[in-house]
Amino acid sequence: MERLLILSAGPRIAVSDVERLVGVHAGQGTTGLEALEKFTTYEQFKQAAERAFLLVKLRQFDWNVAETARALDMPRSNLYKKIERHGLAREQG
């Protein structure tokens, strides 16, 4: 599940994300590493991983930024900047 969240294209995991990660033929022993091929630079991968990590943590703390920042041992102002940089927003509904 964590890998799916990290590698998903958007804020929600879609069927296409699952198919891309496990491959169309999941029973053929694919490792899921093919999904990493979409990144052309290490920086792209790092940004995607950071975005996914922050999204998981914000959801874990019900989008309470102060609590999330405290749990991550990060200044709240830095977390706000990262939320803005990654275009993160609380899901409706």
Domain ranges of the chain: 1-38, 39-93
Which homologous superfamily is 39-93 in? Homeodomain-like (1.10.10.60)
pLDDT at 22: 58
Average confidence (pLDDT) per 10 residues, the chain, 93 residues: 67 68 52 76 90 92 96 97 94 72
d(CA 36, CA 3): 10
Q: Report helix, strand or coil for 55.
A: helix
Provide CB contacts within 8 A for 11, sequence distance 6+: 55, 88, 89, 91
Residues 17, 23 contacting (CB under 8 angstroms): no
AA identity, residue 91: E
- Of all helices (H) and strands (E), which one includes residue 79? helix 76-85
